[in-house]
Amino acid sequence: MGEILRLLAAGSLSRAMTGLGLVAGRPVAAAFGPSGLLRAGIEGGAPWDVFASADTSHPARLRAADIGTAPRVFRRNTLALRVRPGLTRPDAAAASTTMRWPRSRSV
């Protein structure tokens, strides 16, 4: 076993980050929470090896402060819309359209 890898990650990424130890080949000590608070902790000197944030502005702020390497996007989210029974298909399509996201679609 290698040295422990200290992971700080957004709470929303906890499921996605559970296998990091298998990929890294060493034990992982993970702490999950709000990205802004984790970033502030890093800025204040908290020990860390990997910082994973769902908001790219936090790693960018660390980089601007010359803390760590350049941030890299490692995953993107897909949003799903589920509608209640009885809602007609045109209503569901309108809900998707009003989101105004470039890649939104009606399924």
Q: Give the CATH number for residue 56.
A: 3.40.190.10
Tell me which H or E stretch contains 103.
none
Q: What is the pLDDT of residue 77?
A: 65
Q: What is the pLDDT of residue 51?
A: 93
Residues 9 and 49 in one domain: yes
75/58 Cα distance (integer angstroms):
15
22/29 Cα distance (integer angstroms):
13
Its domain, for residue 35, covers: 5-64
45/34 Cα distance (integer angstroms):
17
Residues 30 and 54 in one domain: yes
Single pTM value for the model: 0.68
pLDDT by residue, tens only, the chain of 107 residues:
578 889 999 998 888 787 777 777 788 899 999 999 999 999 999 999 999 998 889 999 999 999 998 888 877 766 566 666 776 665 555 555 555 545 555 55
Q: What is the pLDDT of residue 95?
A: 56
Q: Is residue 12 part of a domain?
A: yes
Residues 28 and 53 in one domain: yes
**Amino acid identity, residue 41?**
G
34/71 Cα distance (integer angstroms):
18
Residues 83 and 58 in one domain: no
Domains in the chain, number: 2
